[in-house]
Amino acid sequence: MNKTNSKSNQRTGMHYFNDTLHYTNHDLADWLPVLKEMNISTLVLRSAATRAIPEQFISTLIGAEITPVIHMPLSLPDCPAAADLNAIFEAYARWGVRSVILFDKPNSNLSWTPSSWAQQGLVERFLDKFIPLATAAFRAGLTPIFPPLEPGGSYWDTVFLKSALTSMLRRKQSVLLDNMAVAAFAFTGGHPVSWGSGGPQRWTQNVPYLTPENSQDEQGFHIYEWYNAIFQETLQKSMPMYLLGAGIKNDGAGGSYGQEDHEQVVREIMHALNQSDANASDFIPDYVVSCCFNRLAAAAESAEAEFAWFSDKDHAGKAAEMLSKRETKAMEPEDFSGATGKSIPEAPSDAAHPIQRYLLLPKYEWGISDWHLDAIKPYVKKYQPTIGFSVQEAMHAANVTLIGGEQSFPSKVVEQLSECGCNVERISGDGTTIATLLAER
């Protein structure tokens, strides 16, 4: 199996449907193979405040090594109280979810009722809503994510963000600030992908609501540099950041690109995600956790349809085709970072390795993945290997097959097993891929 070695693999994300209607097993069967084919590692899922996304949908994504990020675009100013969301937060954390975005565009007048927008102290009133919910999410075991702001916006986004962080410091919310992340809309704004590169340190003449001629601002893909400058000034550190809405001009009507232009924009962003030279102008720092493209698919009659990468699972746009077929390098047997197309010759068992074959499966906090158990059945029937979840136990095997990628078993696990004299191979991918590769052993 071909698989890219690039670090972009760990940071390539996607927005799922912008509704709560596509969380069935049928939807998983349709879209999970598509996501795996594009090497998507993060999926942004819209969640209602009244009910959670089904556990089966969440656990299957995690079993496939796709990290779900929950987005709850709560209404303002009449959002639920923390007590009303505790049960949902706790369920998500129990199922293996790690992050939740709370609210959406609080600096836009469209996110508030007209009367509430007109009142004074907008940032403070927003924090009165955000802090209790973020604290409840954190106590449940989730990382709360400060919501994405509309670039520019009715209330200028950089001013809103700096005011919010300053106020949280004044309110002595240091624990929350140390344990939260921030989301940012990485729209291009119709500019080149390089727009805003260098941040405010380079474009020094900018002031809120005014971008001088021949200058550039945060309203482009490089918004993360502008926000990071605020973090450094206010908190003296960087914060983990999720880039949302990547690959489009904006999320309003007419904010999409034509097929060829969209493919080129995505190609440039993917190049930046894979850039290893920290001095390059398009280098994306490690504080950017994930860059999520907009959007996998959408209901045909919805306003989101113009942004859909797929009109249905069998009809991909040019950007999706490019991401699925981007150049990859076949893994050699000694390269254990991905699945190989052939098995490695087995080593015989000896006194130090009394177990001949060991099948090492990942174990999650929420339990064991049925998805993995189903995939290994043919292999188990054929070879009757020792099956387990313990790296220490696997060290006593002559031959170890790991099921899962870096998120399940980091490279250091492979190194530990190899140092113990184990013959190691790794198999990862979707359920069909794992079953197929195991069947070839």
b vs e for 25-58, b when ≥16 Cβ sit within 10 Å of the residue's Cβ? eebbebbbbbbbbbbbbbbbbbbeeeebbeeebb
169 in a structural domain: yes
Give dist(CA 354, CA 350) in Å, integer. Answer: 6
Judge if 317 and 359 occupy the same domain.
no
Average pLDDT over residues 192-212: 95
114 in a structural domain: yes
The tokens describing 255, both together, are 């904010």
| pLDDT of 133 over the 90 cut | yes
Judge if 361 and 320 occupy the same domain.
no
Residues paired with residue 143 on neighbouring β-strands, in sequence order: 99
**What is the per-residue pLDDT for 269?**
97
What band does 336 get if pLDDT is binned at 50, 70 and 90? very low
Q: Quote the domain boundaries for residue 120.
A: 7-325
| pLDDT of 434 over the 90 cut | no
**Of 121, 51, 128, which is closest to residue 89 (Cα–Cα)?**
51
For residue range 292-331, what is the model confidence (pLDDT) as tens digits? Answer: 999 999 998 899 999 999 999 889 999 999 998 764 433 3
345 in a structural domain: no
Is the distance from CB of 340 to CB of 1 less than 8 angstroms? yes
Q: What is the CATH number of the domain that holds 288?
A: 3.20.20.80
More confident residue, 101 or 377: 101
**What is the per-residue pLDDT for 400?**
93
341 in a structural domain: no
Average pLDDT over residues 393-399: 91
What band does 433 get if pLDDT is binned at 50, 70 and 90? low
439 phi and psi angles, rounded to 5 deg? -65, -25
| pLDDT of 430 over the 90 cut | no
Judge if 308 and 376 occupy the same domain.
no
Judge if 272 and 380 occupy the same domain.
no
| pLDDT of 12 over the 60 cut | yes
47 in a structural domain: yes
What band does 364 get if pLDDT is binned at 50, 70 and 90? low
Judge if 404 and 269 occupy the same domain.
no
**Of 109, 105, 102, which is closest to residue 88 (Cα–Cα)?**
102
For residue range 151-179, what is the model confidence (pLDDT) as tens digits? Answer: 999 999 999 999 999 999 999 999 999 99
Look up tokens 């079953």; give the residue. 435
What band does 333 get if pLDDT is binned at 50, 70 and 90? very low
Judge if 156 and 267 occupy the same domain.
yes
How high is the mean pLDDT of the chain? 89
- CA neighbours closer than 13 Å in the CB half-sphere of residue 325: 8
Q: What is the CATH number of the domain that holds 428?
A: 3.40.50.2300
Q: What's the gap between Cα 294 and its chain centre?
A: 12
Distances (CA, A) of 119 to 59, 73, 128, 437: 43, 21, 14, 61
b vs e for 63-79, b when ≥16 Cβ sit within 10 Å of the residue's Cβ? bbbbbbbbbbbbebbeb
Judge if 108 and 57 occupy the same domain.
yes
Is the distance from CB of 41 to CB of 9 less than 8 angstroms? yes
Phi-psi region of 103 (alpha: psi -120 to 50; beta: other; left: phi over 0): left
For residue range 42-78, what is the model confidence (pLDDT) as tens digits? Answer: 999 999 999 999 999 999 999 999 999 999 999 999 9
Judge if 300 and 379 occupy the same domain.
no
**What is the per-residue pLDDT for 407?**
73
**What is the per-residue pLDDT for 4?**
40
Judge if 299 and 257 occupy the same domain.
yes
336 in a structural domain: no
The domain total for the chain is 2
Average pLDDT over residues 89-100: 97
Judge if 13 and 93 occupy the same domain.
yes
The tokens describing 65, both together, are 């090594």
Judge if 205 and 66 occupy the same domain.
yes
Judge if 271 and 408 occupy the same domain.
no
Give dist(CA 58, CA 69) in Å, integer. Answer: 10
For residue range 254-280, what is the model confidence (pLDDT) as tens digits? Answer: 999 999 999 999 999 999 999 988 888
What band does 375 get if pLDDT is binned at 50, 70 and 90? confident
